[in-house]
Amino acid sequence: MAQNQPVVLKGLMDDWRACKDWVSPTGKPNLHFFSTHFGKSKVQVADCGTREFTDQKRIEMTVAEFVDHWLRVSAADKGNDSNGDWHFVKEYPEYNAYRTPMDFSDDWLNFYLDKFRMHNDPDTYSERNEISCSDYRFVYMGSKGTWTPLHADVFRSYSWSANVCGKKQWYFLSPSQHRLVFDRNMKSSVYNIFADVSQSIFPEFEKSIWWECTQEENEVIFVPSGWYHQVHNLEDTISINHNWFNGYNLSWVWDLLLKDYNEASEYIEDLKGCEDFEELCQRNLAANTGMNFYDFFIFIVRFTFANVVLLHTLSHGKKETSQEPSESMQHIYFNLEAIRSISVKMKPINAGDRQGVLLDLRKNLEDHSFIELCAAVGKTYELIHDQDEMTPALLQCTDSLFTSLVRSQVQSSEDLVAFIDDALTIY
């Protein structure tokens, strides 16, 4: 993770149910299985031949409708021009189609979204769209010739993509070369690297150096933070994809939010004298980026609380005070240091204070969703470090937590830094 470079991994999918159920005896996608078992599910379908702003035009279909379209176009030998994706795990949590590779399991984003919404503003969140807003775990289906335009992943997260069947061609551009695919004002980027790219608009595009990779069936590719990439399906393909972030790439998320915030405030600069200018900036930021400062601040505070609860649980279970910290404890120290580093960067912004938010560890411990978040993170760290020491004791020692901590409330990034410092000093 720390190297932040693309990697192809093999041997991680051998026991996946998806590799059996979703693939026909010929090695092609088992479209009949999808239509029969998941036909009523709604999916977002991208029309690869039609551009809409910076992405492909998207429409909503049922899985059955998408499969019918795929088969109809293929039978006419016209070449399919659509690929679909949907939030499979959220709709079918009991199906167990696959297991997240252990190296990618420290997934703060989806841990959190399993229990909380990232953004609760009714003007930018639709209850009707709950499934599509609820996580960043996707199943993608696309026929030969379909493709995804050049982009960097949401929140500048990591992603992993596992080919259940089919073959993909990837084109990567390292973060150090991003400027080469942007216009002079760094506002818009190249849409398709194989199109006739205008030299007058993108004067440095021809200097870009691309990393190329062919991803085969049963291979998993790790996509690092901030790497722009374009992807082409060389065969009919089904893949499973997650976006996620954790302590290693949290700084990428904050840097993106700050950049997008500055752009949002510049865009409505003529309204700067208005009383609700800041609120407008934050609403635009949430609409365009998927979260705003307020959402991010609540996210990192809750994750700080969860890590401190787990650290207290582990410390409570140590037999001797002189005992070396376990790998799980070292992992949590790293997490807290990463959050502290971002909190220091946020101090000039006062993201929580300006929104009037106050988070209290005591109240969070009374929230069943928060306890489930702690348990999910704790269980994952037990598996990562092969240590069975945390989850059973989680609820037994929370009462003693407050006798150890100096403070339990956080309202600003400065409060959060102090809270983390207290915890690191105690444990």
Please tell me the predicted confidence (pLDDT) of residue 130.
43
Q: What is the largest CA-CA distance in the chain?
A: 73
**Which is nearest to 253 in space by CA: 196, 204, 314, 300?**
300
The strand ranges marked E within 344-407 are 359-360
- What angle in degrees, to the nearest 10, is found between the helix axes of 250-267 and 293-317? 160
* The one-letter amino acid at 170: W
Residue 230: how many other CB atoms lie within 10 Å: 21
Q: Are 64 and 35 in contact (CB under 8 A)?
A: yes
Helix (H, G, I), strand (E, B) or coil at 179: helix
Determine the Cα–Cα distance for residues 248 and 225; give it in Å rounded to an integer.
Answer: 10
Please tell me the predicted confidence (pLDDT) of residue 1.
86
Residue 118: how many other CB atoms lie within 10 Å: 21
How is the chain split into domains, by residue range? Answer: 7-244, 292-426
Q: Structure pTM?
A: 0.93
CATH number of 7-244: 2.60.120.650
Instruction: Name residues of the chain where pLDDT drops below 50.
Output: 125-132
Residue 112: how many other CB atoms lie within 10 Å: 21
Helix (H, G, I), strand (E, B) or coil at 108: helix
Q: Strand 219-223 to strand 158-165: parallel, antiparallel, or no bridges (unpaired)?
A: antiparallel
Secondary structure (H, E, C), 137-193 = EEEEEECCCCEEEEECCHHHCEEEEEEEECCEEEEEECHHHHHHHECCCCCCECCCC
Say how many residues make up the chain. 427
Please tell me the predicted confidence (pLDDT) of residue 121.
67
Please tell me the predicted confidence (pLDDT) of residue 128.
42
Terminal alpha carbon distance of the chain: 26
Q: Are 121 and 166 in contact (CB under 8 A)?
A: no
Q: Strand 55-62 to strand 42-52: parallel, antiparallel, or no bridges (unpaired)?
A: antiparallel
User: How far, rounded to the nearest angstrom, does the alpha carbon of residue 136 sit from its chain's CA centroid?
Assistant: 5
Structure tokens belonging to residue 196: 């006739």
User: How far, rounded to the nearest angstrom, does the alpha carbon of residue 15 sit from its chain's CA centroid?
Assistant: 25
